[in-house]
Amino acid sequence: MADEALFQFLHSELIQYIYKSGGSGETENGKRVTKLETMGFRVGQGLIERFTKETPRFKDELDIMKFICKDFWTCLFKKQIDNLRTNHQGIYVLQDNSFRLLSQLSAGKQYLEHAPKYLAFTCGLVRGGLSDLGVKSVVTAEVAGMPACKTLWQGCS
């Protein structure tokens, strides 16, 4: 869909903007990833508010995660999460085998070191969405080979 393309271009430009300032140390990169994640967090909060206006209350954590994997992910990326795993003790792993925001980058291991930049905003989106649903969490992501990515969600009590 065309408006998906528009978001992808904006997202890409956003990353360029955040990364254009000089410095390439670990701390600098860490700050930039945090900035992107924080922006994603606020957007995620706003989206979930609009999205769940008429949704009935969720039964439990797993119900919330299923909502994130199906409805929320579809709203964001026009597809569902491909695989959801949990240890039933507060850790969930969401796997997307063709993550939209990575598919333009490469189809394998090339540019792998740049992948975290392209995941930070989305991690924030998920964390923000969960936060507004009353769940505090830590969300991280890893990429083994593009365009697949795994998002790890850890609930905090």
Cβ distance to another protein smaller for residue 5 or 138: 5
In terms of CB distance, is 7 or 58 closer to another protein? Answer: 7
Select from 28, 30, 34, 42 the one that contacts another protein (CB under 8 A).
Answer: 42
Give the HSE-up count for residue 114: Cα atoms under 13 Å, Cβ half-sphere: 15
**Shortest distance (Å) from residue 87 CB to another protein:** 30
Q: Does 138 bind another protein (CB under 8 A)?
A: no
75 binds another protein (CB under 8 A): yes
Helix orientation angle between 115-132 and 2-19, rounded to the nearest 10 degrees: 110
3-state secondary structure of 152: strand
Q: In which element (H, E) is residue 149 found?
A: strand 149-155
Taking the complex as a whole, how short is the minimal distance between the CB of residue 147 and another protein, in angstroms? 18
Q: Report the alpha-carbon distance of residue 101 to residue 124 in Å, rounded.
A: 14
Applying CB under 8 A, does 34 fall inside the site for another protein?
Answer: no
Q: Residue 9 or 111: which CB sits closer to another protein?
A: 9
CB nearer to another protein: give 85 or 103: 103
Q: Which of residues 110-129 bind another protein (CB under 8 A)?
A: 121
Interacting residue with another protein among 29, 31, 52, 66 (CB under 8 A): 52
How far apart CA 88 and CA 120 sit, in angstroms, is 25
92: helix, strand or coil: strand
Q: Which of 28, 49, 63, 142 binds another protein (CB under 8 A)?
A: 49
Go through the chain and tell me how many residues it has: 157
* Nearest alpha-carbon partner for 114 in 32, 40, 6: 32
Using DSSP's 3-state secondary structure scheme, residue 86 falls into strand
Query: Can you give the binding site for another protein, defined by CB under 8 A?
Result: 1-7, 9-11, 13-14, 16-17, 35, 38-40, 42-43, 45-47, 49-55, 75-76, 78, 121
